[in-house]
Chains A and B, each alone.
Chain A
Amino acid sequence: MTDEFEPRIVAFLCKWCSSAGSDLAGVSRMEYPSNVLPITVMCSGSVSPLYIFSAFNKGADGVLVSGCHPGDCHYLKGNYYARRRIALVKKLLEFIGLESQRFQMSWVSAAEGKKYTQVIKDFVKEIKPLGPQTKLRRNQ
């Protein structure tokens, strides 16, 4: 048996949509990789860029921010703010040479258990070939 690299993905999931979506995937017994460390947040708009940098700093191989679809935000506008902020973080991380696949954003509603599993499957598939994320990881 070979030890295949299993990436660790930190997922910031909004409580109202994406987290519920991941729950739905769970209770519906949909199969998806177990690489995700989910962190439920109140809103994708509440994800500070610091959380993202810190996740990479503490060894995440990938970071996902997932929120409600535009127009569906429980707080009306949070996901629009997130969209702007995440776009900037993404550009910045690419600029310093981090693989762009390692940081992603998705819209997943509470009903989209299936989409959630697909997002995770794709994420894992895309970053597996990249190997562990060592660039921003703290050297212990």
Chain B
Amino acid sequence: MVNVEDIKKEAIRILKEGKVKYIIGYKKSTNGSMSVPAFIESSEDVENLIWDPTCVYNLTRFLVDEKRRKAREKNPDERPVGIIVKGCDSRAIIVLLQEKFINRDDVYILGISCETTGVLDEKKLSKKLNGKKAEKVEYDEKNNFAITTADGKIKVPADEILAERCLECRANFPAINDVLFGEKVERKSDKPFESLEKIESLSKEKRWSFWKEQLDKCIRCYACRSVCPMCYCDECVVDTINFAVTADTTAEEKAQRIKWVEKSPATSENFVYHLVRAIHLAGRCIDCGECERVCPMDIPLRFLNKKMEKEAKELFDYDAGFDPDQPSLVSCFKDEDPEDFIR
């Protein structure tokens, strides 16, 4: 089992030695049992660091902020940022490296192995507790989580409240790291796309009504986009004005910009948005499940990305986030790529 004290020790060391400018990790939230992202600048703050099954966030998303901030600074601190990553999150780092969005020496990776479990799903936890408030959730022996509520401590088999993505995990420890906590025990799911089957097996019209019902709920808060480490475009198809506006941008360029998607949360517009996102994440999504977790309307967005992940694997034998040197899915091809669908 991962001992959080080991992580703290390393965090203090790298901060004291000035190896990193700050560390992105997890701390306890102020309103419940869940963790929240922590930005640790001094060794005194390291005390706040935690590691437990509530550490769901994919913190690599904050590397995008870091890059933008650095670009604005006149004399940026060039030291790396320390970042705590799980196996899935480390795949995000590999994609960011592959796309040259970040350099390897921009990050000091404190990898944590999820060993044989993973992180929890807050909604499943709440159901399990019948709406009772959890005060603390900890890793326990034998693939159990220990949950503390006002009534005391109970043990729950991890699988009952694990996040869906953890049940289909393809990388339970970070392959890329500067220091690793926990054991490199394999817990790879042999059926990583199993959950998709329940939608794939529906008839075409049932699939349509499923997605229509789901995407009609969308309120276009763009939390799915905002939380995604791969959604780092300066300009997004749904935004209303040009972002890359400079003094040289002409009025015509601004005026001629195509409005692909209306702001209205209509079926047609929501579909374009989510389809574009899905296709743009094809071969890049590493299934951290953050888009689905943050969705306030409970849209099962993970399935859209998961479907693309599965097709990339089955059609092109392509896996995202394992090899920083491989070309991206849609900027490469093989002679034998399938073409039976082409007339």
Contacts and interface: CB of A to CB of B under 8 A. Distances in A.
Interface of A: 49-50, 53-54, 57, 70, 77, 80-81, 83-100, 104-107, 119, 122, 135-139
B312 A54 contact: no
B207 A95 contact: yes
B185 interface: no
Interface stretch (B100-108, B141-149, B174-182, B197-205): B197-205
A91 B209 contact: no
A103 B343 CA distance: 12
Contacts of B307: 91-92, 95
Interface in B217-247: 237
Given A83-B333, A105-B341, A105-B343, A49 B208 contact: no
Given A49-B276, A99-B204, A88 B342 contact: no
Given A84-B316, A87-B315, A91-B307, A53 B275 contact: yes
Contacts of B206: 97
A8 to B, nearest CB: 16
Nearest to B318: A84
Nearest to B310: A91
Given A88-B279, A95-B200, A53 B311 contact: no
B269 interface: yes
Nearest to B330: A85
B315 A97 contact: no
A117 B228 CA distance: 44
Nearest to A123: B343
B343 A107 contact: yes
B163 interface: no
A81 B330 contact: yes
Nearest to A99: B204
Contact of B211 (A50, A97, A107): A97
A104 to B, nearest CB: 6
Given A57-B268, A88-B308, A91-B307, A97 B337 contact: no
A138 B207 contact: no
Given A95-B307, A99-B204, A135 B212 contact: yes
B311 A88 contact: yes
Contacts of A99: 204
A96 B271 contact: yes
Contacts of A91: 307-308, 311, 315
A84 B208 contact: no
B130 interface: no
B339 interface: yes
Contacts of B262: 138
A8 B316 CA distance: 32
B207 A49 contact: no
Contacts of B161: none
B40 interface: no
5 contacts: A80-B337, A83-B342, A84-B329, A87-B337, A105-B342
Nearest to A135: B208
A55 to B, nearest CB: 11
Contact of A92 (B209, B308, B329, B341): B308
Contacts of A138: 262, 266, 268-269
Contact of B343 (A93, A122, A136): A122
Nearest to B314: A91
Nearest to B266: A139
A86 B333 CA distance: 12
B331 to A, nearest CB: 7
Interface in B50-80: none
Contacts of B205: 97
A93 B278 CA distance: 11
Contacts of A136: 268, 271-272
B308 to A, nearest CB: 6
Contacts of A89: 279
A87 B343 contact: no
B260 A54 contact: yes
Given A53-B275, A87-B315, A96-B207, A80 B333 contact: yes
B338 interface: yes
A97 B209 contact: yes
